[in-house]
Amino acid sequence: MRAVLTGFSGSGKTTVGRIVARDLGDLPWVDLDEAIVLRAGRSIEQIFAEGGEGELRRIERTVALELLGRPGPLIVSAGGGTLGDPAVREAARAVPCIALYVSPETAIARVASGGGVRPLLAGSDPLARARELLAARAGLYASGDAAVQTEGRSPQAVAAEVCAILRTEAVAVPLGERGYPVYVGSGLLARVPRLVVDAGIGTAAAAIVCDRAVARRHGRGLCRELGRTHRRVIRVLQVGGDRHKTLRAASRLLDKILAAGFERSCPVIALGGGVVSDMGGFVAATLLRGVPFVPLPTTLLAQADASVGGKVGVNHKTGKNLIGAFHQPRLVVADLDTLRTLGRRQLASGLAEVVKCGVIRDEAILGLLEEHSEAVLAGDPGSLAEPLKRAIAVKARIVARDERESGERRALNFGHTVGHALEAAGGYHGLLHGEAVAIGMAAALKMGVTRGVTPAGLAGRTIALLRRLGLPVEAPAELVGGATLPMGRDKKAHDGLVRLVLAAGGGRTEELAIRPEELAREALG
């Protein structure tokens, strides 16, 4: 692992860098100022006094380029102005670059308390000079991969956030030229502007689709950060809930974005849960015949399912997701910190999609959830990261082989045929999506055992795990009667038969062609 920490004097680069290198496995760590002193055989103050800032920057450039060109793991604590050199800035693009932020007042206080001397802050008014330098370097710090606030925080807390950012991994969705990364980790929302720019997406404008609750928690900060890289940021609100995922609602979003002016190269960014992700993607797919789409899922359900794979759409009164398109994102950013505000029921609903991927392809996921069930239900990012990444990887591999659901991708519908019917029967009230899918999975597992397709041990283990996660495995009696008609209208029905996905164990699935009324009777009777 390699990274550069930068920031103004007093931001804590040296102390934090040392802790980060230790906590990431005793990685090599270099303080650039110390390396400069070693190379020059003189202190920073002497270099500055004898040759001015020009000589200091020349030595700094040479040493920085040597360090960044060195192979192997390395954490570098760089000077506040190091990235001002174009060659160094270009070399640093190859590694994560994290800026540590500090106010001018705190910077001056920390430098004074440390007894250090900063030649660039010398003079009769160090505070005014600090403000001037910080303003001049704001663009440099904002151009990094992430920013971490150090104000009022201990070096250990700052280092922990930096480590979380550096541990972030991207799951690739390998679709050739249309492939994209799915970033999973903590502290990622602050990195979105940089990730969007690096993806080559237009910066004339950006439209953020979100609901009111998410807008209050995360929308303002995202708008502010995007304002650093995009000339205009348009925020449009979408009411949450599946019953609001309609053509009429999509038309309202399109009206607002078009009224504000938009270019085909500019992104629609969906900040929120599954409904917002589906709606934002549908708008992106239809706006100007297709614009870049960037989902920022803030629920576990959306992170595990709706944001990955390119299926976008809206509901019709006769069924769920009957109007839509395939429109792949340019990137997906799943910030685990956004899950902290979710209740236990919402987290459990999202875990249903993670369980699904474990049953159909990667049974190791089931073991992780069994071992850490309480932690994942509490929203612990450390416990959620691995099963979530594995679930996303399952979906990514399937989508890469069958993008438009002509064959293998139908395996991802495990539990959904019955689940969608129950949601429609309830008018999208009552059951959460993951709860309906859990009931559908339990029904499919029992039917698979009856037909000799599903191993009884897998069925029993999965149903026990669903219960352990607080998910229902039996359909509410009041929904059973109304589920038959929606099953017949399932968008995957053919010649009056629906295809029910059955788990065959060992990462395999089979399909059962069955009449809707027979399925309703056997699965829900």
> Do 189 and 110 lie in a common domain?
no
> Do 28 and 139 lie in a common domain?
yes
Q: What is the SS3 assignment for 124?
A: coil
pLDDT in tens, the chain (525 residues): 788 999 888 888 999 999 999 998 889 999 999 999 999 999 888 888 888 888 988 999 999 999 988 777 899 999 878 888 889 887 887 778 888 988 888 888 887 776 555 666 766 777 887 888 888 887 777 767 777 888 888 999 999 888 888 877 688 898 988 999 999 988 889 889 888 988 889 999 999 999 989 999 999 899 998 998 899 999 999 877 788 899 999 999 999 999 988 989 999 999 999 999 999 999 999 999 999 999 999 999 999 998 999 999 999 888 788 899 999 999 999 999 999 999 999 999 999 999 999 999 999 999 999 999 999 999 998 899 999 999 999 999 999 999 988 889 999 999 999 999 998 888 888 899 999 999 999 999 999 999 999 999 999 999 999 999 999 999 998 888 888 777 766 656 677 888 999 999 999 999 999 998 899 889 887
> Do 239 and 295 lie in a common domain?
yes
Helix axes 44-69, 32-40, angle to 10 degrees: 110
pTM: 0.73
> Do 195 and 271 lie in a common domain?
yes
Separation CA 12–CA 107 (nearest Å): 9
**Domain end residue (candidates: 278, 309, 342):** 342
Separation CA 482–CA 489 (nearest Å): 12
Token pair recorded at residue 427: 């008018």
Check: CB of residue 22 under 8 Å from CB of residue 34. no
Q: What is the pLDDT of residues 174-207, one digit of tens each?
A: 898 899 999 998 888 988 988 898 888 999 999 9
Q: State the average pLDDT for the chain.
A: 89
- Reduce the secondary structure of 23-65 to three states and give it as a string: HCCCCCEEEHHHHHHHHHCCCHHHHHHHHHHHHHHHHHHHHHH
The CATH number linked to 134 is 3.40.50.300
Q: Which residues form the domain of 437?
A: 398-524
Q: What is the pLDDT of residues 82-118, one digit of tens each?
A: 888 889 887 887 778 888 988 888 888 887 776 555 6
> Do 158 and 11 lie in a common domain?
yes
Give the end-to-end CA distance of the chain in Å, rounded to a whole number. 55
Separation CA 206–CA 224 (nearest Å): 12
Q: What is the SS3 assignment for 321?
A: strand
What's the pLDDT at 4?
92
> Do 199 and 338 lie in a common domain?
yes
The CATH number linked to 223 is 3.40.50.1970
Separation CA 222–CA 338 (nearest Å): 13
Q: Strand (E) positions, 151-290?
A: 169-173, 180-185, 205-210, 232-237, 268-272
Q: Is 399 left (phi over 0), alpha (psi -120 to 50) or beta?
A: alpha
> Do 108 and 182 lie in a common domain?
no
> Do 146 and 22 lie in a common domain?
yes
> Do 255 and 317 lie in a common domain?
yes
Q: What is the SS3 assignment for 312?
A: strand
Q: Which helix (H) or strand (E) holds 257?
A: helix 247-260
**Domain end residue (candidates: 166, 192, 224):** 166
**Domain end residue (candidates: 126, 141, 166):** 166
> Do 277 and 156 lie in a common domain?
no
Contacts of 424 (CB under 8 A, 6+ apart): 318, 319, 320, 482, 483, 486
Token pair recorded at residue 50: 């004898």
> Do 472 and 428 lie in a common domain?
yes
What's the pLDDT at 481?
82
